[in-house]
Amino acid sequence: MQFGYHIAKKLSFKTQQTFTKTVTLLAIIAVSISVSVVILSFGILLGFKKEIREKVKGYAGDINVTRYQLASGNETNLFDIDSAFITKTKNDPAIESIYPFIHKAGILKSDSTLEGIIFKGVPANFNFYFYQKHLVWGKIPIYSDTSDSYDILISEYTATILDLDTGDRVDLYFIDQADVRRRKPKICGVFNTGLREFDKQFAIADLRSIQRIVDQTYTQAGGYQINIKDANSTPEIQDQLSKLLDYTYAIQTMQDLYPTMFQWLDIVDTNVLVIIILMSIVAIINIITMLLILIIERIPMIGILKSMGASSSKIGSIFNWQGGFILFGGLLLGNIIALGLAHLQKKYTIIQLNPDTYYMDAVPFHLPLTTWFI
């Protein structure tokens, strides 16, 4: 082993420029490009999945429980809130949270513009972390279990269309057949999640204030939003919930609610897999080609070593070590390039995206330690 290592080191890392040293450097660069492309592909794919999943979860939760209905739409059939079901579900160690909610369509009117919007009524104990993270200006509303609040959160898109700002009061109309109800809520905060299609449709309001529109007893809900600690356990949680509820309830995951978005991610999966396979093949061919070039270039040296009694295994170890230098150097340089570019992207968002198409405004990167190691 020392014999092969010593000669390979001399050939590959001589201080003076040689053909062998040049070929070795070119091979290291070629392998590093392949490695960096694979790492960046994985990181960007996982980043897309993480960002979109977190954003959809912020809007809809991991699982939505609603009543089955014949007509499609954002408003769902109402039912009485079941406190026993909420308590039992909340006590499940796999469940992070459960909230009743109501979707109610309304019309916001400014001085010159009308905008249709779906108000999502959320309870006082609702976790506003997602909206706090994407708050552009203003503050998160504070709701109570004992009094109605008319503070609302709207998206930056809606605020721009209606020329509204925090502190403004805006005319809000709820229309049910011939009945029109008018409210004058105050805008306390403006958010921008990057999910433009969602931002266009939704605003956040107090559950009690929405319940007052549909019922006077504060006992009605349009569904339950359930968040799960481990996304991989979603199918098991679905099965458990189906045993607690009767057949009139629909138990849907975020993939069920927004299939197009996740089908798009599946297509991205396929593209990245193709890139990874191609770049791996390129890296392997590069190493093989470079080693063949090195062997052909070193035929006189091989002849001298054989005449001196060196065995084929010892001679082969020289080129095994050279291949190892190329592979290790390519891995090291490829990781430095990929992780360096990823750090710059995360810190400075160099590559921007169109939120209407990609659901986010910059290329994301997420690479868990175990995935990177593999």
**pLDDT tens digits, 51-109:** 988 999 999 999 999 998 765 566 778 999 999 999 999 999 999 999 999 999 999 99
Counting Cβ atoms within 10 Å, is residue 142 exposed (0-12), middle (13-18) or buried (19+)?
A: exposed
Count of CB atoms situated within 10 Å of the CB of 92:
16
Token look-up 């080129």 returns: 319
The phi and psi torsions of 227 (rounded to 5 degrees) equal: -105, 140
Per-residue tokens: 287? 């190493």
Confidence of residue 15 (pLDDT cuts 50, 70, 90): low
Residue 373 CA, chain-centre distance (Å), reads 20
Exposure letters 120-132 (e unless 16+ CB within 10 A, then b): bbbbbebebeebe
DSSP-derived 3-state class of residue 161? helix
* pLDDT reported for residue 16: 60
% of residues, the chain, pLDDT over 70: 97
Number of H helices, E strands in the chain: 14, 13
pTM, two decimals, is 0.80
Q: 12, 24 in Cβ contact below 8 A?
A: yes
Exposure letters 28-50 (e unless 16+ CB within 10 A, then b): bebbbbbbbbbbbbbbbbbbbbe
Counting Cβ atoms within 10 Å, is residue 107 exposed (0-12), middle (13-18) or buried (19+)?
A: middle
β-pairing verdict for 220-221 and 135-138: unpaired
State yes or no: pLDDT of 326 exceeds 90. Answer: no
Strand partners, 137: 190
Give the mean pLDDT of 172-187: 88
Q: 254, 60 in Cβ contact below 8 A?
A: yes
